[in-house]
Amino acid sequence: MYKYKKGFTLIELLVVIAIIALLMSILMPALQRVKKQARTTACLANLRQWGLMYAMYCDENDGNFFTGELNGTRSGMGSGEFWRETMRPYTKDFSEKLWLCPQAAKARPQGGIPSGGWSNFAWETANDVGSYGLNGWMLNIAGSRQTGNRNNGWGRTPADWHWGTHQVQGSNNIPVFTGSWWVDSWPREDDQPPPSDAGPGDTPNSNEMNRVCVDRHNGFVNCVFADWTVRKVGLKELWTLKWSRGYNVGGPWTRGGNVQPGAWPEWLQRFKDY
């Protein structure tokens, strides 16, 4: 006589499903952490390539950075074109992904601050989409040729605060190229931190630290320094870096400047102090 094989009961199936659901709930956070770590590693790899290309450019120009001009003029320029077009020959053999942090690979929506802020969106210009920005204080203002340009770097003064070259003492604490929601920035020691992780509206020549204070990597942003090293930088640590020749690394938003933990916007208070 034919015998039916015994199958799973409904209770047993429900138990198996419950166990699978429990395992998934345990594993998913770990998988998310691994994914974020992988994106951070890929971002650092991008910036190492940028560091090599900046080193090549400086080696070919007597150690100097860009003047802030193209062909001796600023006419018709904008949106960091002075460095984007200058560096384009060095990037032509690389994928467009070199311009993008994997955590911010999508261009931000037009008009207003998107839901969730700008941290995980890339900037967009007429020719490029990118997630990184130049420290504008690196400009070689003294090498500019257009009349009057030696007085400032795209309106940022004083002119002698600009580094001009990477061949300076303390280059391991001078940012050159960082994760950013805009193409460039001229941070100052008294710049106010962003009021929320959504970021403020753009305020050129005011509080430009906001352009780089973006929570891309769980409280950190990645950075190329003037000695061509690359590392993660804590968001509050940004105020301790030597952005310009006149920048005070012990300014009002550092522990050396006696900033109180409660002075930071709420979203930044959970991150490490420097």
Where along the chain do its domains lie? 17-248
Give the residue among 217, 210, 186 at the shortest CA–CA distance from 196: 210
Most confident of 2-11, 21-30, 103-112: 103-112
The pTM of the full predicted model, rounded to 2 decimals, is: 0.87
Residue 175: phi and psi, rounded to 5, are: -70, 140
96 pLDDT higher than 80? yes
* Average confidence (pLDDT) over 228-235: 98
Q: Where are the beta strands (DSSP E) in 43-170?
A: 123-124, 129-130, 132-135
Helix (H) or strand (E) holding 15: helix 10-59
* Per-residue pLDDT tens over the stretch 233-245: 999 999 999 999 9
CA dist list (Å): 124 to 80, 152, 206: 11, 25, 21
Please check whether residue 193 is in contact with residue 266, taking contact to mean a CB–CB distance below 8 angstroms. no
Q: What token pair was written down for 188?
A: 């100052």
Please check whether residue 212 is in contact with residue 123, taking contact to mean a CB–CB distance below 8 angstroms. no
**pLDDT band, residue 273 (cuts 50/70/90):** very high
Give the residue among 139, 229, 127 at the shortest CA–CA distance from 178: 229
